[in-house]
Amino acid sequence: MASIKLEQLTKRFGKVVAVNNLNLEVKDGEFIALLGPSGCGKTTTLLMIAGIYRPTQGKIYFDDVLVNDVAPKDRYVGLVFQSYALYPHMKVYDNIAFPLKLAKVPRKEIDRKVYEVAKLTKIEELLDRMPGQLSGGQQQRVALCRALVKEPEILLLDEPLSNLDARLRIETRAEIKRLQRELGITTILVTHDQVEALTMSERVAVMHAGVLQQYGPPDELYDRPRNLFVASFIGDPPMNLIPVELERTDGRLRLVADSFVLPLAEEWENMLGQIPEASFTLGVRPEDVRISTEEKANALLGEVFLTEPLGGGTLVHFMFGEISFRVLASREIKMDVGDKFWLVPDQSKLHIFTKDGLSVREVGRRDAQ
Amino acid sequence: MFLLPGILLIFLFFLAPVVITAVMGFTNMDYRFQWNFVGFGNFFRMSDDFLVPKILVNTLVYTFGTLAIFNVTFGLILALLTTSISERVGLFFRALWLLPRFTPPVVYAAIWLWILSPTRNGLLNGLRVAMGLNPIAWISEYPWGVIIVTNGIIGASMGMLIFASAIKAIPRDYLWAARVDGASWFQEVRHIVLPLIRWPLMFITAYQTLSLLTSYEYILLITQGGPFHASEVWSLYAYNKAFSAYAGTYEFGYAAALATVLVLIGTVASIAYWKMFRFREMMAPPRIEVS
Ligand SMILES: Nc1ncnc2c1ncn2[C@@H]1O[C@H](COP(=O)(O)OP(=O)(O)O)[C@@H](O)[C@H]1O
Ligand SMILES: [Mg+2]
């Protein structure tokens, strides 16, 4: 197994900057995810690690060894393409055996290894078929087998689940996680699906327009998004994001937008006090708001506009003038359109972003450094 | 009913000439254009014609030599090389190789006559002389080589074009996957590219076989089939029998019989190719998602 280190990695295609100054470390045996919307440079990053693309700038290290000039075949990397890229003219067996044949592994050994990985992913009975005769889920397994059969040090998965239907996706998610843990192989999963990233990996790197936004464990991304992009991209249902003005009345700070007026707790005084501007974006996760029938401190009075039952709970939309505010309520509370409730956001879980989209917490931390 | 005009056209332009040729092959028609049927006379004459075995060998060597060395292999090499360098440079080289196709055959032949001239003014002999070697009468010494090279250089461009576009149509993921799997450039070509361009390969092989069997214009212009029939191929022989007056008569009947045999050879070759490639057909139609 190997650790990976990317240093100021940049890839340009003509004028397009696909990956911009990316710094990233993956520990030996770690499972990380590259998460971001389509076109943000995830596949390009993966292909640079695999040695298919040559970086325009920057360095790639495996176990502290510079591999920029190492050919793909000498990188000991297994890669599952988004398209699976199973060779259409070879049987499943030959697809999986291909890397071993090229490495001149003896026939018997090839046989043993192919059956071994086929068993691992439960596709033994498919070995005689052509790829065109397989379903998407089966093709995905075969591609995984082909990547694993040469016992690579690093496993790269490019949107391995995106071609599967919803139920199969959940099963396969767990299975890939299990495989990764059993084999202890350093793994990078590329995905645009935040649930996939958060559930499968130990750390998630969020990318946007070729730039790394934040890299950390799922909890950290969820609890302390560093900027607006991460805040809006992570979380389902998504975070409420409201452009607000900071006002001081009677010595207390309040965030105001239209008829939405949220008094802030003392703890925010320090952080916001340092910032000269008055316009911010407030972020509140729907699950971080308590609903009460009685007036509370630092609460707002809202009227139910719409309810969406989600099975486990209810997503309730409140309107404050033009501003819609979604709250996740437990099913026990009975709510009808037009009912009024006090909404109490958890002050310690508020997210406040500057005009540049940076979290106020980050601004404080950066100034302290 | 709607098909009738089409069928008529097909008959007029494609079938009729073959039928007329075949029928003419059973006459001893000459410059007087009389349909005197002589049964299998022309075919008996062919089996007694002392030149026919020589010409048959010439034809096979020319057709399959040019095919194997140039039209398929060299065309493939050109396609592989020009698709693995940068797009613009590749395009330039392919265009360059295509130039002779736009050149009138007479000019192309004249250039070769200069290159191969037995005098010291020819290009090759000029070089030999400059290196202190004696000039060589290329055409008399190497008649087979000459007709293969001169036809091959121009013939390779068609394979090159078809193969290049087929190679470019291969999804990049397959080639990248092979590279990650540990394939060298040669292994990539052998295990991925060639199997995936099997159909264009078959098409070019079959098409070029037929076109080489029937083409003789460059041979006529460069070697005239000589020396002493050493580079005369079947189609040129038929042409000579029909139109060249060196026998004193225009032997349309005999020429038509020769042409009929050529059509038969071509048909047999096509069927053989079909069987050969069909045999290895194994790509199954894809199935939709079920799981
Ligand atoms: N081979 C290429 N040539 C030109 N542009 C490319 C190429 N590959 C990717 N790009 C561009 O680089 C950006 C990142 O692409 P990609 O890495 O495929 O994104 P993702 O995998 O995150 O969807 C996109 O804008 C894409 O159009
Ligand atoms: Mg991608």
Domain definitions of chain B by residue range: 233-280
**Which-ligand-closest: CA of A41?**
1
Higher pLDDT, B280 or A364: A364
Which pLDDT belongs to residue B281?
54
Mean pLDDT to the nearest integer, B113-140: 85
**Which-ligand-closest: CA of A159?**
2
E strands of chain A, at which residues?
A: 4-13, 16-26, 31-35, 57-62, 65-66, 77-80, 154-158, 186-191, 203-208, 211-216, 240-249, 252-257, 260-263, 279-284, 289-292, 300-309, 313-320, 323-330, 340-345, 351-353
Span A4-232 CATH architecture: 3-Layer(aba) Sandwich (3.40)
Number of other residues whose CB lies within 10 A of the CB of residue A57: 13
Quick one: what percent of chain A has pLDDT higher than 70?
98
Cβ–Cβ of B181/A52 closer than 8 Å? no
Provide the pLDDT confidence category of residue A21 given band limits of 50, 70 and 90.
very high
Which pLDDT belongs to residue A310?
86
| Site from B174, B175, B180 to mutate, A interface, most A CB atoms within 10 angstroms | B180
Provide the pLDDT confidence category of residue A104 given band limits of 50, 70 and 90.
very high
Q: Pick the atom of ligand 1 nearest to A44's CA.
A: 17
**Which-ligand-closest: CA of A38?**
1
Which pLDDT belongs to residue A75?
93
Number of residue pairs across A and B with CB atoms under 8 Å?
Answer: 87
Ligand 1 in reach of A38 Cβ (< 6 A): yes
Which pLDDT belongs to residue B286?
42
Q: Pick the atom of ligand 1 nearest to A46's CA.
A: 17
Which pLDDT belongs to residue A331?
82
Which pLDDT belongs to residue B245?
60
Nearest residue (CA) to ligand 1, atom 4:
A13
Best probe residue, ligand 1, of A12, A20, A43, A194 (max atoms within 8 Å of C-beta): A43
Ligand 1 in reach of A43 Cβ (< 6 A): yes
HEC assignment per residue over B165-194: HHHHCCCHHHHHHHHHCCCCHHHHHHHHHH
Distance of CA A157 from the midpoint of ligand 2 (Å)? 10
pTM of the model: 0.84
Mean pLDDT to the nearest integer, A27-39: 96
Please give the mean pLDDT across all residues of chain B: 83
Dist. CA A323–CA A262, nearest whole Å: 13
A142 residue type, one letter = V
Query: Tens digits of per-residue pLDDT, B180-224?
Result: 999 999 999 999 999 999 888 888 888 888 888 888 888 888 887
Ligand 1 in reach of A330 Cβ (< 6 A): no
Lowest mean pLDDT among A13-22, A219-228, B224-233: B224-233
Of B177, B195, B291, the CB nearest to A81: B177
Query: Tens digits of per-residue pLDDT, B278-288?
Result: 655 544 444 44
A131 pLDDT above the threshold of 50: yes
Cβ–Cβ of A81/B176 closer than 8 Å? yes
Distance of CA A65 from the midpoint of ligand 1 (Å)? 27
Which residues, at least 6 apart from A60, have a Cβ–Cβ distance to it below 8 Å?
A: A4, A5, A6, A7, A9, A48, A49, A66, A67, A68
Lowest mean pLDDT among A173-182, A195-204, B110-119: B110-119
Provide the pLDDT confidence category of residue A63 given band limits of 50, 70 and 90.
very high
Which pLDDT belongs to residue A7?
96
Two structure tokens written together for A163: 């071609």
Tell me what ipTM this predicted complex has. 0.86
- Nearest Cα of chain B lies from the Cα of A85 at a distance, in angstroms, of 5
Which pLDDT belongs to residue B283?
44
**Which-ligand-closest: CA of A19?**
1
A224 pLDDT above the threshold of 50: yes
Which pLDDT belongs to residue B287?
42
**What values do phi and psi take at A263, rounded to 5?**
-70, 140
B61 pLDDT above the threshold of 90: no
* Dihedral sign computed on CA atoms, order A248, A253, A256, A259: negative
Which pLDDT belongs to residue B284?
42
Q: Pick the atom of ligand 1 nearest to A159's CA.
A: 21
Looking at beta carbons, which residues of chain B come within 8 Å of A102? 181-183, 187
CB B143, CB B227: distance < 8 Å: yes
Distance of CA A303 from the midpoint of ligand 1 (Å)? 45
Instruction: Quickly list DSSP for B35-100.
Output: --B-TTHHHHHHHH-TTHHHHHHHHHHHHHHHIIIIIIIIHHHHHHHHHHS-HHHHHHHHHHHHHH
| Class of the CATH domain delimited by A240-368 | mainly beta
Which helix (H) or strand (E) is A315 found in, with range?
Answer: strand A313-320
CB A26, CB A32: distance < 8 Å: yes
Lowest mean pLDDT among A153-167, A256-270, A277-291: A256-270
Looking at beta carbons, which residues of chain A come within 8 Å of B196? 88-89
A238 pLDDT above the threshold of 80: yes
Higher pLDDT, A59 or A366: A59
Two structure tokens written together for B237: 């022989």
Higher pLDDT, A216 or B54: A216
The partner residues of A246 in beta bridges, in order of sequence, read A255
Higher pLDDT, B276 or B61: B61
Residue closest to B263 by CA, chosen among B17, B2, B12: B17
Cβ–Cβ of A73/B289 closer than 8 Å? no
Which pLDDT belongs to residue B289?
42
Cβ–Cβ of A87/B187 closer than 8 Å? no
Which pLDDT belongs to residue A155?
96
Dist. CA B219–CA B233, nearest whole Å: 8
Mean pLDDT to the nearest integer, A155-169: 90
Mean pLDDT to the nearest integer, A193-212: 95
Ligand 1 in reach of A302 Cβ (< 6 A): no
* Dihedral sign computed on CA atoms, order B85, B86, B91, B93: negative
Q: Pick the atom of ligand 1 nearest to A190's CA.
A: 21
Provide the pLDDT confidence category of residue B290 given band limits of 50, 70 and 90.
very low
Looking at beta carbons, which residues of chain A come within 8 Å of B174? 85, 87-88
Higher pLDDT, A144 or B52: A144
Query: Tens digits of per-residue pLDDT, A172-190?
Result: 899 999 999 999 999 999 9
A367 pLDDT above the threshold of 60: no
Which pLDDT belongs to residue A15?
93
Two structure tokens written together for A264: 């802030």
Please give the mean pLDDT across all residues of chain A: 91
**Residue B187: closest C-alpha in chain A:** A102
A6 pLDDT above the threshold of 80: yes
Best probe residue, ligand 1, of A44, A46, A159 (max atoms within 8 Å of C-beta): A44
A292 pLDDT above the threshold of 70: yes
Mean pLDDT to the nearest integer, B58-80: 88
Cβ–Cβ of B180/A137 closer than 8 Å? no
Mean pLDDT to the nearest integer, A292-301: 85
Domain definitions of chain A by residue range: 4-232, 240-368
- Nearest Cα of chain A lies from the Cα of B243 at a distance, in angstroms, of 50
Ligand 1 in reach of A39 Cβ (< 6 A): yes
| Site from B181, B184, B196, B198 to mutate, A interface, most A CB atoms within 10 angstroms | B181
Mean pLDDT to the nearest integer, A192-211: 95
Query: Tens digits of per-residue pLDDT, B209-266?
Result: 888 888 888 888 888 777 887 788 888 888 887 787 665 668 888 888 888 888 888 8
